[in-house]
Amino acid sequence: MPELPEVQTIVSALRDGGRGAPSISGKQIVSTKIAWQKTVAHPDLITFQEKITGEEIREIHRRGKFIWIKLRSAHLFIHLRMSGDLRVEPSTSPLQSHDRMWFEFSDGLRLVFNDARKFGRVWLVDDPNQIIGNLGPEPLDETLSPEQFHERLLTYRRQIKPLLLDQRFLAGVGNIYSDEALFLAQIHPRRLSHTLNQEESTRLLSAIRQVLEEGIQKNGASIDWVYRGGEFQNSFRVYQRTGEPCLNCGAPIERITVGQRGTHFCPKCQIFDCD
DNA sequence: AGGGAAACCCGAACGC
DNA sequence: TGCGTTCGGGTTTCCC
């Protein structure tokens, strides 16, 4: 279930060669194979393949949940959604089940996009704003002040949890991290955004940063076997702890639905005291 | 404006 | 044991 921390971990590996994987910076793409057509969020596969062949990988970044690979004259974006994964290996390695797309480099290595649930997508665009133009600020960007964050909250009249999940409001927060952050900040997931005061907003921003940094430090979360990811799932405070005691007060954690999403919270610590 | 539902997927977990 | 059913993750799109 890749969200921001998982993406960040993979980006670091691709860019700096973490986790034992070689960096792919500077490599030349000699061919592209597409095993599952819908992986490419692009109307024309032929154009996609022709356009990317011969391109060189310049820089690797992250914006929100998107992996952003800058090429010589285009931008490749990859969204892993829940079950996507990337690996770098020799082109002679056997392919694995659920490998959906791979890029072969001139030096004999390849980058493979594996995605059991076929949710992930890949884009090739000229203008990065086509993909990331509407994303909200990065929560880990230090220039996002608690005051600015509070102001942004006031411009909406929405339940706080769906707002946190809205990538136009804030980029990179997914279901696990919003539950964890709201618990840390002791805010009910259905609180309306414009009712949060400055102190609560500051608490919430700090909590979001804390859980994201924890996730990154532990190489991400995974609620199931699909993603070969990290250890954060062993540190959930509320997520998937329905009925288990709250770590603050011992009350049983409840699970409700908010904005169509499974939502875990402590009914005693996160009181719905709207306005 | 904001909320709800449906669609996209498939493997795990559950019920019988 | 072996079926069939339900669920959930992120996002978009459509409808009220």
Amino acid at A10: I
Domains contained in chain A, CATH given: 4-132 (3.20.190.10), 146-265 (1.10.8.50)
Q: Considering A33, A261, A267, A268, which one is annotated as catalytic?
A: A261
Residue closest to sugar C1' of C9 by CA: A82
User: Which nucleotide lies nearest residue A224, CA to C1'?
Assistant: B12
What is the model's pLDDT at position A224? 40
Residue A3 among the catalytic residues: yes
Q: Is A254 a catalytic site residue?
A: no
CB atoms within 10 A of CB A251: 12
Give the model's pLDDT for residue A220: 57
How far apart are alpha carbons A16 and A237 in whole angstroms? 31
Spans in chain A with pLDDT lower than 70: 1-4, 18-20, 43, 219-234, 274-275
A136 touches strand B (CB under 7 A): no
Residue A221: what pLDDT? 52
Assess whether A65 carries a catalytic annotation. Answer: yes
